[in-house]
Amino acid sequence: MTILARIARFLFWLLVVSWSMWLLRRIFASMVRNTVAAPQNSAEDSNVAQTTATARRLVRDPVCGMHVDETLSIPLRDRGELLHFCSITCRDAYATETKKLAANG
């Protein structure tokens, strides 16, 4: 058998073994996921899930444009409008920028 045929044969079996391992890993992961996840049957659990989903509203930072969870954001009330920032740095940058604009007229 030539060297090229041996290399091709080795690569073929390497491909078959790696694909088999990938398939077994996916099957095992789905079996574990199904046994770990408990079904939600009660109405109380579904209400908790709905309130959690609505509490995770994303708001946009006006300085950098990043979306941040409303409960984790840093709020600032400016001229009657509630603004949400991703960090103290963005909040301070917004405050200094509005002071500059107010000073310039």
Residue 18: is its pLDDT beyond 70?
A: yes
The C-alpha angle with vertex 57 and arms to 53 and 63, in degrees rounded to 5, equals 160
DSSP lists the bridge partners of residue 74 as 85
What count of other Cβ atoms lies within 10 Å of the Cβ of residue 81? 8
% of residues, the chain, pLDDT over 90: 44
Task: Provide the residue ranges of all domains of the chain, joining segments of one domain with +.
Answer: 1-33, 55-104
Residue-wise pLDDT for 38-50, tens only, equals 555 555 555 555 5
**Residue type at position 62:** P
Residue 99: per-residue pLDDT: 78
Q: What backbone phi and psi angles, to 5 degrees, belong to 85?
A: -120, 155
Question: Do the beta carbons of residue 10 and residue 1 sit within 8 Å?
Answer: no
Q: How confident is the model at residue 35 (pLDDT cuts 50, 70, 90)?
A: confident
